[in-house]
Structure formats: C-alpha cells, structure tokens
Amino acid sequence: AQRVTQPEKLLSVFKGAPVELKCNYSYSGSPELFWYVQYSRQRLQLLLRHISRESIKGFTADLNKGETSFHLKKPFAQEEDSAMYYCALIGEYGNKLVFGAGTILRVKS
C-alpha cells in the first residue's frame, strides 16, 4: 500500500530563515514523488517533482530512498511562501496520486 506522512501540521518560520517541510513515504517499489502547493484563494498546483531535479521558487527536494523521504527545502523563506504544502506519491499503477495530510507553512515578517 502507498502512504505519505507529513508529520507537521503547521510550520512557522521567520522571513529569511531556512525551511524544511518533512515528507516520508511508504512504498515497496520505485515511487514518483511530488510537492503540490495551495496558496490562499488559489488552486492546488504542482510545485516540483523529484524526477525533474529542479528548483522552483527556490525550493528543492531530494528523494532519499534509504530513508524513504522527500523533504522540501528552501534556504531563505519569503512571506509569499506561506501556503499549504502537500507531498504526494504515485506508485505501481501510475494512475493514483496519494497525498499526505499537508503542512501549513507560515512565514512571519
């Protein structure tokens, strides 16, 4: 079975501080992992995917198969990063995206 765990419901940091949103997954095969973001009054949208190995809006995430983690990181938080962040996984059949419970990121000035 596929499972995604985001242990923090709320993460509050000051502007300019580093950010790490944790995501752990449970899956026996080779997963594909994503981070989705929902800004206030906006649609849920893709932030980044592990297969692309890219940095979006200063965020990066590395898939660590040994620790089964896909933590989202940003070295210097900005107020506009405040949003709900969801980690998600596609597993064996490639047609069901399973989400974690989400983490609210609040960046304080």
The residues of the shown chain that bind other proteins, judged by CB under 8 A, are: 4, 6, 9, 32, 34, 36, 43-46, 49, 51, 86, 88, 90, 94-102
Q: Which of residues 15 and 22 has its CB atom nearest to other proteins in the complex?
A: 22
**Would you call 88 helix, strand, or coil by DSSP?**
strand
CA distances from 25 to 13, 18, 107 (A): 24, 23, 26
Q: Measured from the CB of residue 24, what is the shortest distance to other proteins in angstroms?
A: 14
User: Residue 97 forms beta bridges with which residues?
Assistant: 90
Q: Which of residues 10 and 17 has its CB atom nearest to other proteins in the complex?
A: 10
**Using an 8 Å Cβ cutoff, are 79 and 39 in contact?**
no
Q: Which of residues 69 and 99 has its CB atom nearest to other proteins in the complex?
A: 99
How many CA atoms lie less than 13 Å away from 86 in the CB half-sphere?
16
Q: Measured from the CB of residue 46, what is the shortest distance to other proteins in angstroms?
A: 4
